[in-house]
C-alpha cells in the first residue's frame, strides 16, 4: 500500500544535504543546511498538494485536507535536524514516512475523514541548542514561547535569531489547537529489535531524562612550577565526575543510562592547569524514582569531588521530564496496523526522547520503531534497511487511517 522505494529514494535525497564523508549527515538545527532540508521538504509537500504553515518556533505543518476539514488533524512527524556527526534516518525517517503516507493516499485517491498533517519539529536533537525537543515542547505548552526562542548555542546565538535568519520564523501561534492523534515513526536507535529479529517496535513508554550543566572553577596555573598539592585543577574534578557518572549508570543498570557528552576546557593549553571546565550530564531511566536516586547521587558526588580539590561549583539541572506512557488507543492502533501488515513485532520502551513525548501531553500519541543496524545512532554509520523502512511506513499508514477515519 506504500511505495517503499520512493520513500527510500527521498531518504537518500534528503541525506545529500549536509552529507559527511563517512556516510552520515551534519545538519545542525537552524543552520543554512537545515534551511535547505526544510526547503526540500516543503517543495515535496507542495508537489503532493499539501498546504504549508509555519509557526513561531519554526515548526512546519504540511496539511492534506480531510473530508471534514473541521475535524482535528491526525499528525505524523519528527525532525530534520541532526547531530554534528549524525545519521541519515534519525528524525528524517519519521518525517519522510509521513510524507510517503500522504503520497500513498494521493496515489489511491483516498480521502480521510479528518485532515492529515506532516510535521517537522524544530531542534529536536538538543545538540546545537539545549534542551532537546524544545519546539514540540512549546507546541505542547510545556515551555513558553520566550523560553523556546531564547535558547542559545555555545556562541550565544538564539533560536529566535537563527529562525529569522533562515526565514523560518513563521507567523502561526505555537500549539493551542486540537490534535486528533499524533504518530511518530523512528529508528529504534538501540539494539533490541535487531537482536530479537523483530521488524516493528510498538512503543508503549519513553524513559525519563534529566540533563545537567556543571561548571567547575579552580585556578589556572603553570603546569611546571606549581606543586601538585597547591593545585585546583578543574579538569581533574570534571574527570572524576565523568567516572562517577559512569559508576552511577552501571549501578542502576541495565536500564539506566548516564553520559557526559560535552566538555569545554578553559584555557585548554597544554602547559596550563585548567582553571574552568564546563560539562553536561545526561541521565535516563524508565522509572522516575530511580532517576531521582541517580540525581541524588550525582549531586553528592559533585559536591564531594569539588570539596576534595577545592573547586567552586555551578550546578544546574536544565531539563527534566518524567517517564512517559503513550495513549492506549493509539498504541492499539499501531498494534492493529502491525497485525494487518503481518510484520513481526514486540512492545518496546524508547531510550531516546522524541517529539512524541511532548505531543503526548496534548494529543493521544504513539510511536512506531523500526530496527537500525547494530543499534547504532548519533553516528555517521547509522543504518537501516529499505525493507524495515517500508514496513514501518505501512504500519504508520494503517495507524493513521485507523484514527483519521474514526
Ligand X SMILES: NC(=O)NCCC(=O)O
Q: Which stretch binds its own copies (CB under 8 A): 225-233, 296-304, 355-363, 391-399?
A: 225-233
Residue 70 or residue 156: which is nearer to its own copies going by CB?
Answer: 156
Q: Which stretch binds its own copies (CB under 8 A): 62-70, 224-232, 360-368, 397-405?
A: 224-232
Among its own copies, ligand X, none, residue 246 binds (CB under 5-8 Å by kind):
its own copies
> Which of 56, 151, 284, 398 forms a contact with its own copies (CB under 8 A)?
284
In whole angstroms, give the CA distance from residue 85 to residue 87: 7
Residue 178 or residue 222: which is nearer to ligand X going by CB?
Answer: 222
Q: What angle do CA 251, 256, 259 make, to 5 degrees?
A: 95
Residue 301 Cβ, how far from its own copies at the closest point, in Å? Answer: 13
Q: Does 132 bind ligand X (CB under 6 A)?
A: yes
Q: Which residues contact 42 (CB under 8 A, 6 or more apart)?
A: 52, 60, 62
Residue 109 or residue 271: which is nearer to ligand X going by CB?
Answer: 271
Residue 150 or residue 264: which is nearer to its own copies going by CB?
Answer: 264
By CB under 8 A, what part of segment 127-166 binds its own copies?
A: 127, 130, 132
Q: Does 21 bind its own copies (CB under 8 A)?
A: no
As given in the structure block, the three cell numbers for residue 100 are 510517503
By CB under 8 A, what part of segment 377-406 binds its own copies?
A: 377-380
By CB under 8 A, what part of segment 322-351 binds its own copies?
A: 350-351
Q: Does 90 bind ligand X (CB under 6 A)?
A: yes
By CB under 6 A, what part of segment 161-200 binds ligand X?
A: 189
> Which of 57, 134, 256, 391 forms a contact with its own copies (CB under 8 A)?
256
Q: Which stretch binds its own copies (CB under 8 A): 71-79, 167-175, 235-243, 292-300?
A: 235-243
> Which of 266, 292, 346, 361 forms a contact with its own copies (CB under 8 A)?
266
Residue 295 Cβ, how far from its own copies at the closest point, in Å? Answer: 16
Q: Does 91 bind its own copies (CB under 8 A)?
A: no
Residue 163 or residue 324: which is nearer to ligand X going by CB?
Answer: 324
By CB under 8 A, what part of segment 195-214 binds its own copies?
A: 207, 209, 211
Among ligand X, its own copies, none, residue 273 binds (CB under 5-8 Å by kind):
its own copies
Cβ atoms of 257 and 311 within 8 Å: the answer is no
> Which of 223, 289, 300, 316 forms a contact with its own copies (CB under 8 A)?
223
Q: Which stretch binds its own copies (CB under 8 A): 42-50, 134-142, 258-266, 325-333?
A: 258-266
Q: Does 24 bind ligand X (CB under 6 A)?
A: no
Q: What is the 3-state secondary structure (H, E, C) of the chain?
A: CCCHHHHHHHHHHHCCCCECCCCCECCCCCCHHHHHHHHHHHHHHHHCCCEEEEECCCCEEEEECCCCCCCCCEEEEECCCCCCCECCCCCHHHHHHHHHHHHHHHHCCCCCCCCEEEEECCCCCCCCCCCCCHHHHHHCCCCCHHHHHHCECCCCCEHHHHHHHCCCCCCECCCCCCCCEEEEEEECCCCHHHHHCCCEEEEEEECEEEEEEEEEECECEECCCCCHHHCECHHHHHHHHHHHHHHHHHHCCCCCEEECCCEEEECCCCCEECCEEEEEEEEEECCHHHHHHHHHHHHHHHHHHHHHHCCEEEEEEEEEECCEECCHHHHHHHHHHHHHHCCCEEEEEECCCCHHHHHCCCCCEEEEEECCHHHCCCCCCCCCCHHHHHHHHHHHHHHHHHHHCC
Q: Does 353 bind ligand X (CB under 6 A)?
A: yes
Q: Which residues contact 82 (CB under 8 A, 6 or more apart)?
A: 18, 24, 25, 26, 27, 28, 90, 91, 92, 125, 127
Per-residue x/- marks for ligand X, 362-401, CB under 6 A? ----------------------------------------
Among its own copies, ligand X, none, residue 337 binds (CB under 5-8 Å by kind):
none
Binding site for ligand X (CB under 6 A): 90, 124-126, 132, 189, 222-224, 271, 352-354
Amino acid at each position: 500500500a506504500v511505495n517503499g522505494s520512493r520513500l527510500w529514494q527521498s531518504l537518500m535525497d534528503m541525506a545529500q544535504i549536509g552529507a559527511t564523508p563517512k556516510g552520515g549527515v551534519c545538519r545542525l538545527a537552524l543552520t543554512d543546511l537545515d534551511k535547505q532540508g526544510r526547503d526540500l521538504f516543503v517543495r515535496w509537500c507542495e508537489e503532493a498538494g499539501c498546504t504549508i504553515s509555519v509557526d513561531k518556533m519554526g515548526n512546519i505543518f504540511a496539511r492534506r485536507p480531510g473530508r471534514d476539514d473541521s475535524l482535528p488533524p491526525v499528525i505524523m512527524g519528527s525532525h530534520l535536524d541532526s547531530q554534528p556527526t549524525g545519521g541519515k534516518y534519525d528524525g528524517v525517517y519519521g518525517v519522510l514516512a509521513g510524507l510517503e503516507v500522504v503520497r500513498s493516499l494521493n496515489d489511491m485517491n483516498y480521502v480521510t475523514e479528518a485532515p492529515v498533517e506532516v510535521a517537522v519539529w524544530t531542534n529536536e536533537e538538543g545538540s546545537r541548542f539545549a534542551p532537546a525537543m524544545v519546539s514540540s515542547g512549546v507546541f505542547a505548552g510545556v515551555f513558553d514561547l520566550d523560553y523556546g526562542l531564547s535558547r542559545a548555542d555555545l556562541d550565544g546565538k538564539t533560536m529566535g535569531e537563527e529562525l529569522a535568519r533562515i526565514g523560518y520564523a513563521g507567523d502561526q501561534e505555537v500549539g493551542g489547537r486540537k490534535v486528533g492523534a499524533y504518530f511518530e515513526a523512528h529508528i529504534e536507535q538501540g539494539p533490541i529489535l535487531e537482536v530479537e529479529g523483530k521488524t516493528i517496535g510498538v512503543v508503549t513508554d519513553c524513559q525519563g531524562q534529566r540533563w545537567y550543566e556543571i561548571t567547575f572553577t579552580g585556578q589556572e596555573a603553570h603546569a611546571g612550577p606549581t606543586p601538585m598539592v597547591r593545585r585546583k585543577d578543574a579538569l581533574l574534578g570534571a574527570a572524576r565526575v565523568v567516572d562517577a557518572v559512569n559508576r552511577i549508570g552501571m549501578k542502576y543498570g541495565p536500564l539506566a543510562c548516564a553520559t557526559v557528552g560535552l566538555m569545554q576546557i578553559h584555557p585548554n593549553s597544554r602547559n596550563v592547569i585548567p582553571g574552568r571546565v564546563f560539562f553536561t550530564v545526561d541521565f535516563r531511566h524508565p522509572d522516575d524514582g530511580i532517576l531521582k536516586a541517580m540525581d541524588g547521587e550525582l549531586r553528592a558526588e559533585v559536591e564531594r569531588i569539588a570539596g576534595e580539590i577545592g573547586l567552586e561549583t555551578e550546578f544546574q539541572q536544565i531539563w527534566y521530564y518524567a517517564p512517559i506512557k503513550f495513549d492506549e488507543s493509539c498504541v492499539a492502533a499501531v498494534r492493529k496496523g502491525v497485525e494487518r501488515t503481518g510484520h513481526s513485532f514486540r512492545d518496546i520502551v524508547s531510550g531516546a526522547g522524541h517529539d512524541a513525548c511532548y505531543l503526548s501531553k496534548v494529543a493521544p500519541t504513539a510511536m512506531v520503531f523500526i530496527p537500525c543496524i547494530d543499534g547504532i545512532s548519533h553516528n555517521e554509520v547509522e543504518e537501516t534497511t529499505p525493507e524495515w523502512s517500508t514496513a514501518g511506513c505501512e504500519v504508520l499508514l494503517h495507524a493513521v487511517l485507523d484514527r483519521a477515519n474514526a
